[in-house]
Amino acid sequence: MSKKELIPEIYVYCDRWCERCPFTDRCEIFDPVDQEKDSAKVDVNEFMEELTAKFKETMDLLKSEADANGMNWNQLVADAKEIEIEDPVLPIEHEEVVNLAETYRRQVITWLAVNSKEIEETTIKHAQNAEMGIQNAKEDNAHFIDALEVIQWYHCLIEAKVRRAISGLNDDFEEIQNDTPQNHANGCAKITMLFIEKSIEAWRQINGEMADQENEILDHLAALSRLSRKIQKIFPAYIAFIRPGFDTFII
């Protein structure tokens, strides 16, 4: 693949769901090997060793940079330990949107855990229906599983991207750098809105299959709708942000 074909920074405003991405061949960070790895088979010790080696490499690099610039490394480390990092104080509206995204994430984790048996029973029911030759049973199952995957994929990302969007909005440096709609905060808000839309669609699909879960599912939908309204209010220009690749190419 030639470098010319790559789309700069396409990976900054994507959902990292490479398996489903139409731009894998134009993304600088896409790694087909990662896709083949079965995370369940990753050796934990090997992973920890790799992580430790990378950490050491980084520390060595920082130390040599400090030495090269005439700084006392031990003093820098001692000073760093003294620094107390305080959480930034956010405007109430910003605090609320972050809390809402966190609440939604927690709700979903609980729902998936509490209802794992019922979810399994629903897929078994579909499989049995398919075996009996009932029309659309196979497709229904595929849609149901897909909806669950969507919920699982996005519930944490929604919170992560909301936090990033809000911190971009409260970071004077970022905003001074770019006060047009094409700034990082709007980019994060835009993909968060996409994740929310996909999640709403997925919950509707699940609701069609798990009718007795209607009240819980309505809670999730209400949380997502509130989140969506707040994001639109805080980031009124988010829609104008152009995502590299996704908004610039016709797939």
- Nearest approach in angstroms of CB 29 to ligand SF4 is 5
Position among 6, 9, 18, 149 found at the interface with ligand SF4 (CB under 6 A) = 18
Residue with tokens 């430790």: 52
30 is an interface residue for ligand SF4 by CB under 6 A: yes
Polymer length of the chain: 251
Stretch that binds ligand SF4, among 13-21, 136-144, 174-182, 186-194 (CB under 6 A): 13-21
Give how far Cα 187 sits from Cα of 34, 37, 55, 241, 246, Å: 26, 30, 30, 6, 12
Give how far Cα 138 sits from Cα of 3, 145, 228, Å: 42, 11, 33
Position among 16, 54, 106, 204 found at the interface with ligand SF4 (CB under 6 A) = 16
Alpha helical stretches, state H, the chain: 32-36, 44-68, 73-82, 92-114, 116-131, 137-169, 172-177, 184-209, 214-234
24 is an interface residue for ligand SF4 by CB under 6 A: yes
Stretch that binds ligand SF4, among 26-34, 109-117, 131-139, 160-168 (CB under 6 A): 26-34
23 is an interface residue for ligand SF4 by CB under 6 A: yes
Which residues sit at the interface with ligand SF4, rule CB under 6 A?
A: 10-11, 14, 16-18, 21, 23-24, 27, 29-30
